[in-house]
Amino acid sequence: MSSTVETTSEIRPFQVEVPDEALEDLRRRIAATNWPEKETIADQSQGVPLAMIQQLARYWATDYDWRRCEANLNALPQFITEIDGLDIHFIHARSQHEDALPLIINHGWPGSIIEQLKLIDPLTNPTAHGASAADAFHVVIPSMPGYGFSAKPTSTGWGPERMARAWAELMPRLGYTRYVAQGGDWGAFVVDQIGLQAPAGLLAIHTNMPATVPADLDKASLAGDPPPSGLAAEERRAYQQLLRTYGQVEYARYMAARPQTLYGIADSPVGLAAWLLDHNDADGQPAAAVAAALDRTTSATGELTRDEILDNITLYWLTNTGVSASRLYWEYKGGFFNAKGVAIPVATTVFPGEQYQAPRSWAERAYPNLIYYHQADRGGHFAAWEQPQLFTEELRAAFRSLR
């Protein structure tokens, strides 16, 4: 908190301080969980399996330590500032390299700023991670409205378009007159919107869930039609991946219609955990990368661990943001993966475990000013969380031409 721009009256330092009683109540509720019977099949096709959630709940109620996560968050410079009538929480980590490129990174559902924590040091301090000072970023990671420690909207209108406008206000407020933006999942929707709005100072965006589907194919895939003829092999694969995804996203359609009915994700920790865990990736539902993380207690290479999964879920619980976060689906009325018409410079990384692997042909049409396209060899829907080293390298490469 040494920067002068951060000490203006509108930007207040923020620390996480969860009362002991909230943690005790959480543990008590987990320990008192009333369980349903076991699923009637031997796989994950009816939802999050009972054994998986019971094993997680056992650890959550006993050895899991929220205070470790809280200390990690509080070791980072966090702030609150009011934008458009709403208090916005964000991490703001400046690089020691003065010429660093300012970067705003937007998380998604069922995520939070927890997804991005492992990126912060490599991005801001590249020389400590085997990279060049010329690759340094100043990093801003906001919590979306209704998520984490940002305030919850009390009226309608906070969709990705409005968030994009808010970020375009946040970055200049921090003193940044030229910056780039990055996102996956909802963050990808928000960065596409900010790309469309093209505010002064925004140089480019990077997305790890690019919206590239041509209009005719978007319509056909949403209607569930088989792949049209004439698609290249990569396009055909992408089309089939879209059909698979549309068959798995009932949770999203539910939240788009009835977010308020999900009282269980406010009242039941296990209800919340299961709802958050049941997001798909290309390899499974729950996401294969998340299911694998539940069995990973440590990782020297930064791969996703059980503690990180619980850090994110616990953050949702402690801030009671399950319903307010869900409401973003209700707010959004636009398309999912259809090309949105972004004209500014765009970089994209295609991860193999993402909802669909955007073919270069579609990406070039969707983003006429495509400055970077790369297919990574590992990582999925939660790319920053799953493969932080690789993700960091992608961002360095993506934005190198803009420095």
Partner 1 sequence: MTQVETSIARRDVRPFSVDVPEEDLVELRRRVRAARWPEKETVADPSQGVQLATMQELVRYWGSDYDLRRFEARLNALPQFMTEIDGLDIHFIHVRSPHERALPLIITHGWPGSVIEMLNVIGPLTDPTAHGGDPGDAFDVVVPSMPGYGFSAKPTGTGWDPVHIAGAWIRLMRRLGYTRFVAQGGDWGAQITDVMGAQAPPELLGIHSNMPGTVPPEVSKALASNVLGAGDPPPSGLSADEQRAYERLSFLYTKGIGYALEMGLRPQTLYGLADSPVALAAWMLDHDARSYDDIAAAFDGQPVGSLTRDEVLDNITLTWVTNTGVSSGRLYWENTLGFFDVKGVTVPAAVSVFPNELYQAPRSWTEQAYPNLIYFNEVDKGNHFAAWQEPELFTTEVRAAFRSLR
Dihedral sign of CA atoms 338, 340, 343, 347 in order: negative
| Footprint (CB under 8 A) of partner 1, residues 247-276 | 247-248, 250-251, 253-254, 256-268, 270-275
| Residue 140 backbone class (left: φ over 0; alpha: ψ -120 to 50; beta: rest) | beta
**Amino acid at site 178:** R
User: Could you say whether residue 159 binds partner 1 (CB under 8 A)?
Assistant: no
| Min dist. Cβ of residue 58 to partner 1 (A) | 14
Kindly give the interhelix angle for 20-31 and 306-319, rounded to the nearest 10 degrees: 110
**Amino acid at site 128:** A
User: Could you say whether residue 223 binds partner 1 (CB under 8 A)?
Assistant: yes
349: exposed, middle or buried (C-beta count within 10 Å: 0-12, 13-18, 19+)?
buried
Closer to partner 1 by CB, 118 or 327: give it: 327
Binding pattern to partner 1, positions 43-62, x when CB under 8 A?
---xxxxx--x---------
Closer to partner 1 by CB, 45 or 229: give it: 45
User: Could you say whether residue 217 binds partner 1 (CB under 8 A)?
Assistant: no
CA-CA distance, 387 to 379, in Å (whole number)?
6
CA-CA distance, 366 to 64, in Å (whole number)?
44
| Span interacting with partner 1, options 114-122, 191-199, 315-323, 355-363, rule CB under 8 A | 315-323
| Min dist. Cβ of residue 94 to partner 1 (A) | 34
CA-CA distance, 338 to 340, in Å (whole number)?
6
Dihedral sign of CA atoms 58, 62, 64, 66 in order: positive
Closer to partner 1 by CB, 10 or 250: give it: 250
314 to 57, 148, 243, 280, 383: CA distances (angstroms): 12, 10, 32, 20, 21
User: Could you say whether residue 33 binds partner 1 (CB under 8 A)?
Assistant: yes
User: Could you say whether residue 287 binds partner 1 (CB under 8 A)?
Assistant: no
Pick one of 2, 15, 40, 301: the residue that binds partner 1 (CB under 8 A).
40
Pick one of 152, 173, 244, 400: the residue that binds partner 1 (CB under 8 A).
152
357 and 385 Cβ atoms separated by less than 8 Å = no
Q: How many chain residues are in contact with partner 1, going by CB under 8 A? A: 60
User: Could you say whether residue 126 binds partner 1 (CB under 8 A)?
Assistant: no
| Span interacting with partner 1, options 40-48, 164-172, 346-354, 389-397, rule CB under 8 A | 40-48
Pick one of 4, 19, 41, 230: the residue that binds partner 1 (CB under 8 A).
41
User: Could you say whether residue 34 binds partner 1 (CB under 8 A)?
Assistant: yes
Backbone angles phi, psi at 218, to 5 degrees: -60, -45
What are the residues binding partner 1 (CB under 8 A)? 33-41, 46-50, 53, 152-156, 218-219, 222-224, 246-248, 250-251, 253-254, 256-268, 270-275, 277-278, 285, 320, 322-324, 327, 330
